[in-house]
Structure 1
Amino acid sequence: MDDIRERLRGLPAFPADLPVLDPEAVPADPTELFVAWLNQAIETGARQPHAMTFVTTRRDGTPVGRTLILKDVDESGYHFSTHRTSRKGVELGRNPRASMVFFWRESGRQVRVTGTARALGDDVSQADWEKRPSYTGSPNPDWQVYTLDPDEIEFMQAREDRNHTRVEYARDSDGAWSHHVVTTPAG
């Protein structure tokens, strides 16, 4: 086991030529920055730039993460889909609070989107089902598209020295966004 520890410590972190996140230049709406970062990841050829870790909680409060694909981003939130009877579907039924974590390794960028998930209409869900590679021509009444309506979004831009730049947005009860630089150690 000591060999693994040394091998892990010896792995490179981030290169010097990473993008810069200027907290003074971020937009008022965090979705604008998210879409810009997502588009940059797509344009630079990042592998599966729409993949994210999706975190829900079990009945006992244990967080559970798994990888999902982002389906859309619009005024209602960040779309994803699953079976209603899947573990994540059941967990969302009990507690709709969830987080998405996107990581674009090539640019050293990470975004955490936290909020409340809600089911979208059956028309949206069935249209999504029909676009799946495994679609056989039959509807799936168990298939559900959800949207995560965020109330927190944190952007992190890695730096070679690991003093990463982090900006967190929070939405108030009136729906207005504010943001600040996160000054605590990363994590």
Structure 2
Amino acid sequence: MTDSLRRQLRALPDFPDNLPLFDPATAPADPIALFLDWLGQALAAGLPAPHAFSLATATPEGAVSSRMLILKDIEAGAFCFASTRSSRKGGELAGNPQAALNFYWPAVGRQIRVVGTVSLRSADASAADWNDRPGADGSANPAWQLYALHPTEVEFWQASADRHHIRHRYAL
């Protein structure tokens, strides 16, 4: 790394001073309830694309990849997202149904990491999701798959301007 690039990167601000407060002692016992609270706050604050997350998957051999997706729903405690089964992520999930989601909202210094096992939702649920997409023309896409990530771990992270960040982890 060049010295000038290093200086330029180090000069960038980390987080604003007026971040939300978070006291893990007041967190609900259910991580979904806390997720919905934080998502609601992100929506109320007008944050762009608060439903967007990074999905990390891996091949059976452990080669990892990630990409951005959007949350479709939370149903029975599972985080739902969709893709085509023939995509790289679809192939990786077929061979290794473990994944991680990461929601990141820098304007409020928050991120939520969700780790778990992924299952396939029904063909009917997948078709309904396809038809609910903006611009859907009513024709089915048989390769479209709705997935559900069933959390085994959920970690909430609240940044602090003084860099004393707060982590609150649920092991399920």
Superposed pair shares fold, TM > 0.5: yes
Corresponding residue of 1:185: none
Corresponding residue of 2:63: 62
Return the alpha-carbon distance in structure 2 between the equivalents of residues 149 and 44 of structure 1: 28
Return the alpha-carbon distance in structure 1 between the equivalents of residues 71 and 33 of structure 2: 16
Return the alpha-carbon distance in structure 1 between the equivalents of residues 76 and 60 of structure 2: 30
How far 1:134 sits from its partner (Å)? 4.3
Return the alpha-carbon distance in structure 2 between the equivalents of residues 16 and 106 of structure 1: 10
Amino acid at match of 1:41: A
Return the alpha-carbon distance in structure 2 between the equivalents of residues 135 and 170 of structure 1: 38
How far 1:68 sits from its partner (Å)? 0.3
- Please give the residue correspondences for 1:72-151 in structure 2 after superposition, counting only pairs within 5 Å: 72-151=73-152
Corresponding residue of 2:10: 9
User: What secondary structure, in the 3-state scheme, does the structure 2 residue paired with 1:20 have?
Assistant: coil
1:97-147 residue CA offsets vs partner (Å, 9 max, x unmatched): 100000011110000000001000111101110122342331111000011
Return the alpha-carbon distance in structure 2 between the equivalents of residues 121 and 68 of structure 1: 20
Return the alpha-carbon distance in structure 2 between the equivalents of residues 116 and 141 of structure 1: 23
Amino acid at match of 2:128: A
Count of residues paired in the alignment: 171
User: What secondary structure, in the 3-state scheme, does the structure 2 residue paired with 1:35 have?
Assistant: helix
Amino acid at match of 2:40: N
Return the alpha-carbon distance in structure 2 between the equivalents of residues 6 and 134 of structure 1: 46
Return the alpha-carbon distance in structure 1 between the equivalents of residues 77 and 158 of structure 2: 26
Q: Please tell me whether the aligned partners of residues 76 and 147 of structure 1 are also in contact (alpha carbons under 8 angstroms).
A: no
Q: Percent identity?
A: 47
Amino acid at match of 1:70: L
User: What secondary structure, in the 3-state scheme, does the structure 2 residue paired with 1:160 have?
Assistant: coil
Question: What is the RMSD computed on CA atoms of the aligned residues?
Answer: 1.0
Return the alpha-carbon distance in structure 2 between the equivalents of residues 71 and 170 of structure 1: 23
Q: Which moved more, 1:60-69 or 1:77-86?
A: 60-69
Q: Please tell me whether the aligned partners of residues 32 and 77 of structure 2 are also in contact (alpha carbons under 8 angstroms).
A: no
Using structure 2 for the length normalisation, give the TM-score: 0.96
How far 1:168 sits from its partner (Å)? 0.5
Return the alpha-carbon distance in structure 1 between the equivalents of residues 80 and 24 of structure 2: 27
Corresponding residue of 1:184: none
Return the alpha-carbon distance in structure 2 between the equivalents of residues 163 and 63 of structure 1: 30
Amino acid at match of 1:7: Q
Corresponding residue of 1:177: none
Return the alpha-carbon distance in structure 2 between the equivalents of residues 33 and 5 of structure 1: 37
User: What secondary structure, in the 3-state scheme, does the structure 2 residue paired with 1:61 have?
Assistant: coil
Return the alpha-carbon distance in structure 2 between the equivalents of residues 68 and 4 of structure 1: 30
Q: Please tell me whether the aligned partners of residues 96 and 118 of structure 1 are also in contact (alpha carbons under 8 angstroms).
A: yes
**1:27 to 2:28 alignment:** yes
